[in-house]
Amino acid sequence: MSALSGTAPLLRATVRHDGRSFAPWVLIATFLSASSVLVYPWVFPDEQDRTGLATAIGANPALGIIFGPAFDISTTDGFNAWRSLALGGFLTALGAIFAVTKATRGQEDSGQAELLASGVLGRGSRLLAGVGLALIGSLAVGVVSGVVTGLCGGGWEASMLLAATFTASGWMFAAVAAITAQLGSDARTASSLAVGTLAVLFLLRGFAYSMDAPQWTIWANPLGWMTETRPANGDHWWPLLYAVVFTVVALAIAFALQARRDFGQGAIAPRPGPAHGRIRSTLRLALRLNTGQIITWLIAFAGLGVVFGYFTMSIHDILGKDSAVSAILAAGATTPDELTSAFLVTILSLVGIIASIPGVQFMLKVRSEEMEDRVEPVLVGAIRRQRYYVSNVLLALALPAISVLLAGLVIAALASTADIGVEFGDAFAQAVATVPAVWTVVAVSVAVIGIRPQVSLAAWIGVLASFVLTLLGPTFKLWDWVLAISPFWHIPNVTDSSADRTGLGWISLVTLFFLVVGFAGFRRRDIAV
């Protein structure tokens, strides 16, 4: 029996049962790419509008961190390449990571894998089936989004190349996830490792382009290869070869590691622990269960603060390089200080949106603990349900707030040392003003888990809406009342004394409403159903 026998039937079954888990990623990537092509000629019909857009993007380098460099956005395909390349690849990579992790570590955690492994199945077959699903799924993302974009009016070569970068990103991170699935000893650790790698490379690429870093920093980064294909601006296909080589090498490493480890174990063996416990309350329990996550996120936000802080310090140079921005500055239409404070608002909103992710994760953890029968024994203690829920909600609100303040503190400290007209107090106050919006987003998940946990994916709605409306909304020229759905739209610029601050009050009322709904729901509903 070879190491891979039994793969074919397993892969067929995996695709049939878990294939649909790729559907959202296909839809989102296709929507992202096709919508650019449809919307651009309509929203930006003439040269003047397009120059205006280029200026606006140049004036807010925070956008560059997410979207990458705008090589040429005066054409439909160029605009699409700028808007979709980084995000589409990021999302496809996320889908690939989750697919691989679920088919490997996820199955081992839940015991399904044991059933499978005892059948006629080679050692590497389960991993190969998981990787196969991710490769096929990523390919589907590319084919569907490329064809749909072309049919919607995109240039075929540029659209297909752009779509190919989605697929290539998915392939590379399927391979990365195959490695992390051998390193982490459970599904959560394995996917955190892979997503962390993706996030770091993603941000590094954004910075490398925005800061005019040396060329090697771009070529050392697999995601940099994707940007260097330059769809609609040269159409280089050859960097995709690097991606294929990367995928093959990483997969070879993953299979070598897989052949060495024991079933259900990671690289690090567990040691005996204390025979007596000191945890006496539900809050301590919530802290204990999330310790690893809390530490990881705090380190991540300190790092994010350093990176964004340095970025802010060089804001004047970055703005000065952009000829259109220099022109409006010279004309006196705006001042560098105004642009800088607008930049700070955006960058802290971005920090806030990222910070709401751990909050939502903590609330989803409440649900997964419930489904794994670990909440029942706790609630059978002399504990009110509300107290159990409050412990978790407190944590889900506190960690994002602390993360934003931590990153804000670092950004403020760094920015105030550079001669760019940013006061430490103002910058930190801006971070404080961001916190209520983060709480609104997290409160959505508190309501969902409290009242309808069966649709736990809905807990992400707040994060998704904030991200789409805050970052993509302006490129659609959406109306204010639509943009106002995102709580981050209501954050005032604290240096602008005429800015309307009542918005923070309104979104806090919304937060309160969601919290009340969540608590009422959790008190009344059946547990673990």
Partner 1 sequence: MSADTVIDVQGLTKSFGRFRALNGLDLQVEKGQVHGFLGPNGAGKSTTIRVLLGLLRADGGSTKVLGGDPWRDVVDLHRRLAYVPGDVSLWPGMTGGEAIDLLGSLRGGLDEKRRDELIERFELDPTKRGRQYSKGNRQKVAIVAALASDVELFILDEPTSGLDPLMENVFQEVIGEVKQRGASVLLSSHILAEAESLADRLSIIRDGRIVETGTLADLRGHVRTSIRATLERVPARAALADLHDVHLDGTRLTATADAGKIGDAMTQLAPFGLAALTVEPPSLESLFLRMYEPDADAAATP
Residues in contact with partner 1 by the rule CB under 8 A: 186, 270, 272-282, 285, 288-289, 372-374, 376-385, 524-529
Q: How far is the CB of 118 from partner 1 (least distance, A)?
A: 17
User: Which residue, 331 or 382, has its beta carbon nearer to partner 1?
Assistant: 382
Question: Of 272 and 332, which CB lies nearer to partner 1 in the complex structure?
Answer: 272
Query: How far apart, in whole angstroms, are the C-alpha atoms of residue 263 and residue 218?
Result: 38
- Least Cβ distance, residue 277 to partner 1 (angstroms): 3
Shortest reach from residue 432's CB to partner 1, in Å: 34
Q: How far is the CB of 391 from partner 1 (least distance, A)?
A: 12
Q: Which is nearer to partner 1, 273 or 332 (CB)?
A: 273
Task: To the nearest 10°, report the CA torsion of 154, 155, 160, 161.
Answer: -120
What minimum distance in Å lies between the beta carbon of 377 and partner 1?
Answer: 6
CB neighbours of residue 295 within 10 Å: 10
Joined tokens for residue 58: 């140049």
Q: Are 94 and 24 in contact (CB under 8 A)?
A: no
Concatenated DSSP letters of 141-179: HHHHHHHHHHHTT--HHHHHHHHHHHHHHHHHHHHHHHH
With tokens 């923070």, the residue in question is: 504
Alpha helices, H only, 184-238: 187-210, 215-219, 222-227
DSSP assigned state of 299: H
Nearer to partner 1, 47 or 526 (CB): 526
Q: Which is nearer to partner 1, 205 or 365 (CB)?
A: 365
CB-count burial class (<10 Å; 0-12, 13-18, 19+) for 382: exposed
For residue 166, give both structure tokens: 């989605």
- Closest separation in Å from C-beta 378 to partner 1: 6
In the bound state with partner 1, the residue whose beta carbon lies nearer, of 260 and 278, is: 278
Residue 252 or 383 with smaller CB distance to partner 1: 383
| Contact (CB, 8 A) for 152 and 34 | yes
> How near is the Cβ of 61 to partner 1 at its closest, in Å?
42
Least spacing, CB of residue 359 vs partner 1, in Å: 21
Q: Give the 3-state secondary structure of residue 235.
A: coil
Q: Cα dist. 270→184, 185, 266, 267, 321 in Å?
A: 12, 10, 9, 10, 53
Least CB distance to partner 1 at residue 382 (A): 4
Q: Exposed, middle or buried: residue 129 (CB in 10 Å: 0-12, 13-18, 19+)?
A: buried
Q: Which is nearer to partner 1, 2 or 265 (CB)?
A: 265
Query: Is residue 401 a contact partner of residue 435, using CB atoms and an 8 Å limit?
Result: yes
**Which is nearer to partner 1, 269 or 331 (by Cβ)?**
269
Contacts of 529 (CB under 8 A, 6+ apart): none
